Amino acid sequence: MRVLLTVLLSFSFLFAAPFHIVTSFYPLQIMAINVAKDIPSVSVENLTPPLTGCLHDFSLTPKQLQSLSRASVLVVNGLGMESFLDKVIRLYPKLPIIVLTQGLPVLISDGQPNPHVWLSVPLAKRMVDHLSDQLGQLDAIHRDNYKRNAILYEGQLQALDVWMKKELSPYHGISVITFHDAFPYFAKEYGFNVAGVIEREAGSEPSAKDRVGLRKKIVDEKVRVVFAEPQYSDKIARSIIRGSTTQLAELDPGVTGPVKDSAYLDMMRHNIESIRKALKP
């Protein structure tokens, strides 16, 4: 009887209807790739171009709308990250949407929820857990597979978090300046004080007055490092630290990168090595 059940289950996997997961942007794509890894008939597609950093002003193209028409589910970050979400709901009212920040603690920046939750590894772990639970409800035949994959990936995230906290413990309380306002969750989790931000919005260069203010913060708050981002030129960051002993380093917000299951882990490890190199005696 047990053998018969195993055979029937195998056939059910073979003939299961395709389940197509569409993610709104890169970091969610990496989470979904890990949760859906090696599951037959389940695919993951990212909706927005790889060079898209923040989605606040992004408009969907006809090709992307076509992708949504084939989707079994749309996975989004929420907290205002996806400005196009209202349009998707209007055009595809029956499309299930999973909001990965639902129920998570939210930090406020300039009076608005800061959506960059995935840069706290413990919160990213909770996003992965929520994703697997929701996918299991929508695609019950693969529920155990989603859960198994999620547990494996969450274990890797847990180990990463323990390592990061150990490596960054000597730098608790130091003041830094970041390129964008993407790192409040990272700073809170790992003990940094964000003294200032170079660009509040992508592409909005700081005014002459803003640059003077940032240089003053470097002195007043003893800022030890200014972070640039690999997606943008570091020219402005270099101009702000010119003439000071403040170091320049790279901090990746994880909005672009290679499409592979280890991408988030690799990005975070690279960030830690960058911080340690900039702050070593």
pLDDT of residue 58: 78
CA–CA separation, 80 vs 58, rounded Å?
12
Instruction: Enter the pTM of the model.
Output: 0.91
Summary count for the chain: helices (H), strands (E): 10, 10
Task: State whether the Cα torsion 143-144-148-149 is positive or negative.
Answer: negative
As beta bridge partners, residue 36 has none
**Look-up: residue for tokens 């200014």?**
226
pLDDT of residue 49: 83
Please choose, from the candidates 67, 72, 63, the residue with its C-alpha nearest in 3D space to the C-alpha of residue 36. Answer: 72
Q: What is the mean pLDDT of each run of 10 residues along the chain (281 residues)?
A: 50 69 97 97 92 68 92 97 92 97 96 96 98 98 98 98 97 95 96 93 84 95 95 93 94 95 98 93 72
Q: List the domain boundaries for the chain.
A: 15-163, 167-279
Give per-residue burial for 136-150: e unless 16+ CB within 10 Å, then b.
beebebbeebbbbbb
Sort strands 175-178 and 97-99 into parallel, antiparallel or unpaired.
unpaired
Task: Determine the topology of domain 167-279 in CATH.
Answer: Rossmann fold (3.40.50)
The model's pLDDT over 168-185, given as tens digits with 9 standing for 90+, comes to 999 999 999 999 999 999
Say if 15-163 and 167-279 have the same CATH topology: yes
- Are 153 and 129 in contact, with CB atoms under 8 Å apart? no
CATH architecture of 15-163: 3-Layer(aba) Sandwich (3.40)
- Are 41 and 13 in contact, with CB atoms under 8 Å apart? yes
Q: Which amino acid is at 193?
A: N
